[in-house]
A and B are shown apart, each in its own frame.
Chain A
């Protein structure tokens, strides 16, 4: 028995970090629930990072946020009816996503309309929770995610949904990019902008439903919006921004899971904190790096030029 195991046996709490990084990483995958968490987390991070680029480009961050919250009512309603909450979640996010998409991207009062619907469905969600006589755990899992409770079956469902969303994004990539950058121009060029807007929100609804399993409806921003918002500060090439967003989402998820494994605090907290502080760091570092770049680019330019 090595020292690490003895300590773990004596204290009988969450696993302890050793000085051997390789051992620590291997220990992460010791339990099946952690393997499932990493599998589902990886799929969700790829999907969220990819779709997040379009959410940021289209200025649909509030719509993404609202979708997940509207989904909350669907999920709690499903719990009440003794149905898997994921189906209630999907039904509500899809329905509201299609409705928001039909409102179009340019409509001025869109966010107000979304906000009004959002407030009402949250009220519905509260009613459903109060009617449900079981544990509050179900509601807690929906709100904040329960990635450590993911089954092998959930992983397969997540994988299928992930393949569908990524496949759909690839299929609409060019016209979606066009319509996101300039809807008027794309429409004149023959892009079906309204159908695309609806289609995009439907894809987003599926992605949100997947991501809810990991971070919950309240924390969805951390996986869908934050990685993409950081990525577009590094690169303005769309494919590079998408890849950067995916890598960041993967990094936050993996690191969050790993840290949470060695701590008593929830995974969602670490994932959202990593995303938040990375964003803050990038925003703060940006003006400094720009000043440095400008200096190095123009060493002979007269001052003030």
Chain B
């Protein structure tokens, strides 16, 4: 049995945690994906969810979104039970990219983040337009927000996805692999942007990543999801050979290169590697 480590005290913890899991387990009816997860995500913190493919990272996000009920245990999201359509959560789903033929403007897509879930047609209103404008400006997408979203580059699409997530003024931002389709330069630009938005809007951010390296200088905590367990701590605590070996009771090696990038070897056959 692995006990999770509490977040370190040097990080600021303002009031109640944004997300609180007690003995949480996830499953779809068959064997549990992971069990006995105990962690607490501080309001206003930036957390990376890491771990090998198929370990249950997206399952955790789905549970926070209220799309999947807890298999066991308790989960509190922003002081409430998770529920579908939570307006306090901004979400960016995992996707390869928009279809190139998708003929809808970036601005229309952002608008859907405001009232896409409401029935009927939207009556023209300046309050809506102002909210969309503000979100588009916040992510620096002004110059291409009126172009078809399918024709934009991966980085541009990712900015509009972020604008869509921000337009409803959420308190919690959930992102499922927002960096996976981007080149290394765009990855760092988008992470920088997420960090800025997070500070400006005092958001709590949870982000699934395949590679921790572009995130290292921005994140407060790491949630490591693998082999049926979830472990939490600071990157320095979690991403070490000793820690990962102990947590997963299997030999894991964390390598560092001369530029400070880390490589995790030994979980699954998979290597957490930077692309390119």
- Are B115 and A174 in contact, with the CB atoms below 8 A? yes
- The stretch of A108-116, A181-189, A201-209 in contact with B is A181-189
> Is A238's CB under 8 angstroms from B104's CB?
yes
Interchain CB contact under 8 A, A181 and B85: no
> Is the CB of B116 closer than 8 A to any CB of chain A?
yes
For the complex formed, measure the closest distance between the CB of B63 and the CB atoms of chain A, giving whole angstroms. Answer: 12
| Cα A174 to Cα B108 with chains together (Å) | 11
Residues of A close to B149: CB separation below 8 A: 236
- Give the complex CA separation of A189 and B112 in angstroms: 10
Beta-carbon contact of B147 and A236 below 8 Å = yes
Does B117 contact A181, Cβ atoms closer than 8 Å?
no
The listed residue with most A CB atoms (<10 A of its CB), out of B84, B94, B116, is B116
Could you tell me if A174 and B122 are in contact, using CB atoms closer than 8 angstroms? yes
Q: Do A173 and B91 touch (CB < 8 A)? A: no
**CB-defined contacts of B101 to chain A, threshold 8 Å:** 232
Distance (whole angstroms) from the CB of A55 to the closest CB of chain B: 13
- Interface flag for B93 (CB, 8 Å): yes
- Which applies to chain B's interface (DSSP): helix, strand, loop or mixed? loop
The answer for the CA separation of A305 and B231 in the assembled complex, in Å, is 50
Shortest distance in angstroms between A291's beta carbon and chain B's nearest beta carbon? 16
In the complex, what residue of chain A is closest to B94 when comparing beta carbons?
A184
A156-189 with Cβ < 8 A to chain B: 170-175, 177-178, 181-182, 184-189
Given the interface pairs A188-B65, A236-B148, the reply to whether A173 lies near B95 with Cβ below 8 Å is no
Contact for B112 among A172, A181, A188, A236, CB less than 8 A: A181
Inter-chain CA distance A186–B93, complex, in Å, is 10
Q: At the interface, yes or no: B263 with Cβ under 8 Å from chain A?
A: no
> Contact at A187–B67, with CB atoms within 8 Å?
yes
Which residues does chain A contribute within 8 Å of B94, judged by CB atoms? 184
Which residues of B113-141 have CB atoms within 8 Å of chain A's CB atoms?
113, 115-122
Q: Judge whether B200 is part of the interface by a CB distance below 8 angstroms.
A: no
Q: How far is the CA of A235 from the CA of B147 in the complex (A)?
A: 9
Distance in angstroms from B125 CB to nearest chain A CB is 13
- Is the beta-carbon distance between A175 and B117 smaller than 8 angstroms? yes
Indicate if the CB atoms of A190 and B105 lie closer than 8 Å: no
Please, how many angstroms separate the alpha-carbon atoms of A79 and B94 in the complex?
50
Please give, as numbers and ranges, the residues of chain A lying within 8 Å of B148 by CB-CB distance: 236
Contact between B105 and A236, CB atoms less than 8 A apart: yes
- The reply to whether the CB of B109 lies closer than 8 angstroms to some CB of chain A is yes
Cβ–Cβ < 8 Å partners of B85 in chain A: 188-191
Look across to chain A and name the residue whose beta carbon is closest to the beta carbon of B67. A188
Q: Does B80 sit within 8 A of A, measured CB to CB?
A: no
Bound Cα distance A190, B92 (Å): 14
Determine which of A173, A233, A235, A238 lies in contact with B120 in the assembled complex, contact meaning CB atoms within 8 Å: A173
Q: Confirm or deny: A241 has a beta carbon within 8 angstroms of a beta carbon on chain B.
A: yes
Q: Is the C-beta of A149 less than 8 angstroms from some C-beta in chain B?
A: no
Which residues of B lie under 8 Å from residue A236 when comparing CB positions? 103-105, 108, 147-149
B102 at the interface (CB under 8 A from A): yes
Query: A188 to chain B: closest CB distance in Å?
Result: 5
User: Could you tell me which residues of chain B, from 142 to 164, have a CB within 8 Å of some CB in chain A?
Assistant: 147-149, 164
Distance in angstroms from A70 CB to nearest chain B CB is 26
Contacts of A255 in B (CB 8 A): none
B69-105: CB near A (< 8 Å → 1, else 0) gives: 0000000000000001100000111110001011111
1/0 contact string of A241-259 vs chain B (CB within 8 Å): 1000000000000000000
Bound CA–CA A237/B101 (angstroms): 14
CA distance A188 to B92 in the complex (A): 10
Residues of A near B117 (CB, < 8 A) are: 174-175, 178, 186, 189-191
CB neighbours (8 Å) of A124 from chain B are none
Complex Cα gap A187–B118 (Å): 12
A57–B102 contact, CB under 8 A?
A: yes
The answer to whether B147 touches A172, judged by C-beta atoms less than 8 angstroms apart, is no
Pair A174/B105 contact, Cβ less than 8 Å: no
A57, A59, A189, A191: which has the most chain B beta carbons within 10 Å?
Answer: A189
Query: Is there contact, CB below 8 Å, between B116 and A175?
Result: yes
| A247–B28 alpha-carbon span in the complex (Å) | 48
Q: Min CB distance, A180 to chain B, in Å? A: 9
| A interface residues with partner B (beta carbon < 8 Å) | 56-57, 59, 170-175, 177-178, 181-182, 184-191, 232-233, 235-238, 241
> What are 16 A-to-B residue pairs whose CB atoms are below 8 Å?
A57-B104, A170-B120, A170-B121, A171-B120, A174-B112, A174-B117, A181-B109, A184-B95, A187-B84, A188-B84, A189-B85, A189-B113, A190-B84, A191-B117, A236-B149, A241-B103
